[in-house]
Structures are given as structure tokens and as C-alpha cells.
Amino acid sequence: MKIVTAKRVVHKGEKRIALEFEIDHEISALIRNVDDVRWSATMKCWHMPDTKESINDMFQVLKGKIYFDYSALKMVVANKSAGAKSMMMSIRDREFPALSESDKADIYALRKWMEHKRYGASTIKTYISMLSRFFRYVKPKNASECDPGDVVKYVNEYIIPAGLSYAFQNQTINSLRLFYSEIYDDSLVVENLDRPRAEHKLPNVLSKGEIKRMLESTGNLKHKAMLSLIYACGLRRCELLGLMLTDVDSKRGVLMIRQSKGKKDRIVPISEKTINMLREYARAYRPERYLFEGQVKGSGYSPTSIEKVLKESCKKAGIDKPVTLHWLRHSFATHLLESGTDLRYIQELLGHSSSRTTEIYTHVSLKSIQNIKSPFDTL
């Protein structure tokens, strides 16, 4: 089997990851799908940025085609920052025992059941990952021997000390509840697996001025079109990257979003201004299948690459906030609400099943809040 081996290097004063493999045109074509992969004449190898995003991108590009040996990148690097952060990282990076054959069989059975039920690929991947980590943690116990006490121990001794999120804990519980209800039909275990207390966080929103500055700071036409479309139509990242050329109906002025979260289709209006922007982009880049493609024609654009594009644009625009692509979707909904759009229409545009999900934007809209006068002002 063809192998690409990764190792850390310093090239021209910059931390990079060298990619070593026997000369092969197929591998060379594949690895160039990852952003900022370059050839070094001095090292006589390809190299890429030493970032978690690049490593993940390379793994996804080579997955199922070329074996990517990145074991050298997992080595503990000396002199990491001390204190709580390094302790959390060491807990997170702990090596757990391998799964037993019986656990592998049980997890595989759940995967096939989820596929039969047409769960989304990302949901299946998340659940299988959560189960694998938990059952490796509780070794030497097998899945058939676990009880709710093992879950409490996992939360208190691994999830919380490692600084993992509420969402991670909740997804772990969800995956275990599904596993024990479908594979073992164990209602006793399921009933005693409590989810963590719900968090109530407000969505993060950028002002219209910040959105405009960010887009104006995006020089690349494709990147600008991608970020603009997320804000213009309130898209999720996966919805943007899954758009096909045929999903843009310029005659009707709508954008078709297919099989999104909850396996639902929906349409959203798309303005003439946005359509003209997409036409300009299409003339320049000539996409063949997806509306936005990677460096190889017909292949999808990298999810981590568009996140990096956003962060770079925000940096250039002087926006010193931890902005994510989902902030643009939140901003779309909030700005619509502030302009007087009915909440029911916003719910349809966002693809929310429940109006309660959409109502959270009323808590960040400034339309009514700014009309409230503090009693301090009347003193």
C-alpha cells in the first residue's frame, strides 16, 4: 500500500510538516488539495503548515486511498506551556487500551443500524467516535458489563478535567443511550443516563458594518462569494459546501438547499445582486459539479479551509473576535429580525423545525432593546 509519512521540520524559519513518499503522481495530485502545500527543492519533499487543520485536511484527502502515517506528529513536545492548559492536554491525549473484538462487533452493529435508519454521515461518525472512546476508557470492562456509574466516572475523571465541552458530554450521553437501547435493549441503563444541565447561550452576532468590512477585506473572488452567500442566505457551512451548480435557480430567484440538517430540503430567496456575484465567480473559476470546488475540479471545497479564509478576512478587517462561519448565519437571522421580518419566515429560511429555536434571536436583536430607557437617564 502507498504510504505518506509526516514529520515536523523547520523550513526557512517556519514550522512545517514534511511529507515523505516515493515519487508518485497520484499522491502529488492528492496532497495539493490541501491549502499551502509546497515543494522544497532543498529538502526535496512536499511540505505543509504545521496546524491541526492542515493535518485533518490531509487525512481526509488521503483517506481510503493512501495510508497517512502521522504517528510522529503525536509525540509529546517538550516545554509546552505549564499549568492547567498543559494538564488538560495531557489528559486529553491519554492513550486508552484497544477495543475488544466484542465491543468492535457491537459498535459495528450500531453503525449498520444507523445507516439502515438513514442517519446523517456526520452523526454516525460522531456517535461511533464517542462510543469507541468511552469503551476504550472503561477497559477491562466490556460494553455488556458497563453501568451508569462508569459514565459518571468518565465524565468526572476524563471529560471535565480534559476541559471538553458541554456538547461533547451531551453527545456522549446521546450515543450511549442509543447504543444501549438498540444493541442491548437495556432500559435500565438508558433510564439512568442523565444528560448534563442544558446551557443557554446567546448566539454571537456581527454588526452590518463588521460584515461589510470583513467582506471588503476578502480579496479572493471565490472566497468572497462563499462568505457572502453564507450571510446572504443564512447557510450552515455544510449547506454551502454541498451546493451543486443546479441548486441556483436564477430565473425564480431561489437557492435550493437539499437534505440539510434533519434530512430536510428547503428553498431560500436569492437576490439579483447575489446572483450577479455568483455569475462573476462562475465565469472566473468555471466550477464543474459543486458550486464551490477545491483545487481539483469536481471535488468539494475543504471545510477547514473556508474557516481559515474567514479568520484571515476578519483579521484584515480589524475584527478582534473569535468569529466562526456560524456567526454569519446568526447575523443573517438577527439582521432580518431587526429589519421587521416576521419570526415565522425567519424560521423557514433557517430550516428550524421549532419556532423556539428561532426565538433565541429575539434576545440579541437591538430593535426593541434600544428603545428602552434606563431609569438612570431620567435622574
Per the annotation, the verdict on 25 as an active-site residue is: no
Higher-scoring residue by pLDDT: 356, 368: 356
Q: What is the pLDDT of residues 247-276, one digit of tens each?
A: 999 999 999 998 887 778 899 999 999 999
Residue from 47, 224, 329, 335 carrying the catalytic annotation: 329
- The pLDDT assigned to 318 comes to 94
Residue from 261, 266, 311, 316 carrying the catalytic annotation: 261
- The pLDDT assigned to 17 comes to 92
Residue from 11, 136, 311, 326 carrying the catalytic annotation: 326
For residue 312, is pLDDT > 90? Answer: yes
* Grid cell for residue 318: 480589524
User: How many angstroms separate the Cα of 90 from the Cα of each of 81, 165, 308?
Assistant: 11, 16, 26
- The pLDDT assigned to 79 comes to 42
Per the annotation, the verdict on 236 as an active-site residue is: yes
| Rg of the chain taking only CA atoms, in angstroms | 24
92: Cβ contacts below 8 Å, ≥ 6 apart: 162, 163, 164
Q: What value does the mean pLDDT take over residues 79-97?
A: 53
For residue 331, is pLDDT > 60? Answer: yes
Per the annotation, the verdict on 361 as an active-site residue is: yes
For residue 310, is pLDDT > 90? Answer: yes
Per the annotation, the verdict on 367 as an active-site residue is: no
Please give the Cα distance from 238 to 211 (Å, whole number): 20
Cβ atoms of residues 98 and 57 within 8 Å: no
- Among 44-48, 59-63, 142-146, name the one with the lowest average pLDDT: 59-63
Per the annotation, the verdict on 223 as an active-site residue is: no
- Among 31-35, 83-87, 177-181, 182-186, name the one with the lowest average pLDDT: 83-87
pTM above 0.85, yes or no: no
Amino acid at 24: D
- The pLDDT assigned to 77 comes to 41
Cβ atoms of residues 56 and 73 within 8 Å: no
Read off the pLDDT band of 378 (50, 70, 90): low
Q: What value does the mean pLDDT take over residues 36-46?
A: 86
DSSP 3-state assignment of 8? strand
For residue 44, is pLDDT > 80? Answer: yes
- The pLDDT assigned to 269 comes to 92
Q: What value does the mean pLDDT take over residues 176-204?
A: 80
Cβ atoms of residues 144 and 188 within 8 Å: no
Higher-scoring residue by pLDDT: 193, 126: 126
Q: What is the pLDDT of residues 47-86, one digit of tens each?
A: 998 888 888 888 888 887 888 888 777 654 434 444 555 5
Higher-scoring residue by pLDDT: 74, 120: 120
Q: What value does the mean pLDDT take over residues 230-257?
A: 93
Please give the Cα distance from 34 to 64 (Å, whole number): 16
Per the annotation, the verdict on 47 as an active-site residue is: no
Residue from 236, 308, 330, 335 carrying the catalytic annotation: 236
- The pLDDT assigned to 232 comes to 94
DSSP string, 210-227: HHHHHHHT--SHHHHHHH
Q: What is the mean pLDDT of the chain?
A: 85
Q: What value does the mean pLDDT take over residues 84-110?
A: 73
